[in-house]
Structure formats: C-alpha cells, structure tokens
Structure 1
Amino acid sequence: MFRRTFWFTTGVAAGVWATTKVNRKLRQLTPESLAAQAANKALQAGHRVKDRALDFASDVRAGMAQRETELDDALGLNAPVDQLPAPRRHAAIENRNSPKYIESPMYSNNRNEDH
C-alpha cells in the first residue's frame, strides 16, 4: 500500500511540474510575450550602442584636449603673461626690392584714374 501511495504522489508531483513547465513555455511563446521580448532586446541593444558611443565621444574629447594642449605649447599660448613667446621664423622672406613689388608707371593698379 505504501508503494502505491509513494508512486501515486510521485506521479502527481511530476504531472504538476510538467504542466507548470509547459504552461510557462506556452506563455513565453504567445505573440504578446514575443513582442515584449523583442522590445526588451532592442532596448538592451540601444543601451549598449549608447554606452559605446559615449565612450567613443569621451575618448575623442580627451584626444582633442591633449592635442589642443600640444598646440598651445607649440604656439606659446600657455606662456606666462610677462614673458613673450619666441619670434617665429618665416619659411620664405619676401624681398620688397624684387621686380614683383616695383610699380611700373605704365601699369598702374589704380582703377579710379581717368583714361
């Protein structure tokens, strides 16, 4: 008698467990549940993309700040106020005596004179 009761109880427990599992899986496969799962996955993906974009933007800002500091140092913009930056050398020095700068009386650049 005890064996029958044990196996009957075991069978009932297994049936309840299996029914619960099947019902839970069926609820997960309804269209509403599938739509909700898809929406949750999309939100998670959006949050991951946003976090990576923010990380990228902060890296870009840090690089910009570092480069700006390098340029300021190179141009002498970070020098103390009482100290002037060193004079810069020009790549080519213009010669004002060259023919390019000598005005010819024949070719005047004045467009307002009477002809």
Structure 2
Amino acid sequence: MFRRTFWFTTGVAAGVWATTKVNRKLKQLTPESLAATAANKALETGARIKDRAVGFALDVRDNMARREAELEDALGIGDDPELPAPRRYTAIENRTHPKYLDSSTYSHNRNEDH
C-alpha cells in the first residue's frame, strides 16, 4: 500500500513540476515576453557601452592634460603665460570709415564743412 501511495505521489509531483515548467517556457515564448526581453538586453548593452565610452573619454582627457603639461614644460611656458589679447572682429564693416574712402574724395581737414 505504501509503495502504491509513494509512486502515485511521485507521479503527481512530477506531473505538477513538468506542467509548471512547460507553462513558464510557453509564457517566455510569447511575443510580448520576447519583445520585453530584447528591450531589456538592449538597455543593458547600451548602459555597458555608455560606461565604457565615458571611461574612455575620461582616460583621454586625463592623458591629454598630462601631455599638455609635458609640452608646456618642454616649451618653457609657465603657469601664467603672457599671451596677446584676442583679436576682436567686427560683424559689419563700416564702409564710411576713412580707410575705405578714396583719398581724393576724403578731406583730412576736420574743420571743413561737408
């Protein structure tokens, strides 16, 4: 009697386990589940690539600053180099300015009426 009860219980447990396993696999293979899984994998991959790119950019920036310091030392440029003031360019040229006028039409006498 115990053998029959044991094997019956074992069979029921195996059936429940197999049914549960198959139902889970079927749910994983639905289009919605496959799309969600693909989206999650894409987000994880994008985050990994972003982390690597940020790390690479920081490494490049650190090495660039180090190399600039080496070049400044080699060229003798101190911490406070005296550079000329930056040039200022006008957006619109003043064509009435004396440098654009012909010398024959421009009078250099400022007291003369024009």
Normalised by the length of structure 1, the TM-score is 0.66
Q: Which runs of 5+ in 2 are unaligned?
A: 82-101, 103-114
Taking every aligned residue pair, what percent have the same amino acid on both sides? 76
Relative to structure 1, the CA distance from residue 80 to residue 28 in structure 2 (aligned partners, 3 Å threshold; closer, same or farther) is closer
What amino acid is the match of 2:41?
Answer: K
Residue-by-residue CA offset, 1:35-55 (whole Å, 9 max, x unaligned): 000001100110111011111
What amino acid is the match of 1:47?
Answer: A
Shift of 1:21: 0.3
- Alignment-derived partner of residue 99 in structure 2: none
What amino acid is the match of 1:4?
Answer: R
RMSD: 2.1
- Alignment-derived partner of residue 101 in structure 1: none
Question: Which protein, 1 or 2, shows the higher relative CO under an 8 Å CA cutoff with sep ≥ 6?
Answer: 1
Misfit runs of 4+, over 6 Å: none
Q: Which runs of 5+ in 1 are unaligned?
A: 82-111
Distance in 2, Cα, partners of 1:57 & 1:80: 27
Normalised by the length of structure 2, the TM-score is 0.66
What amino acid is the match of 1:18?
Answer: A
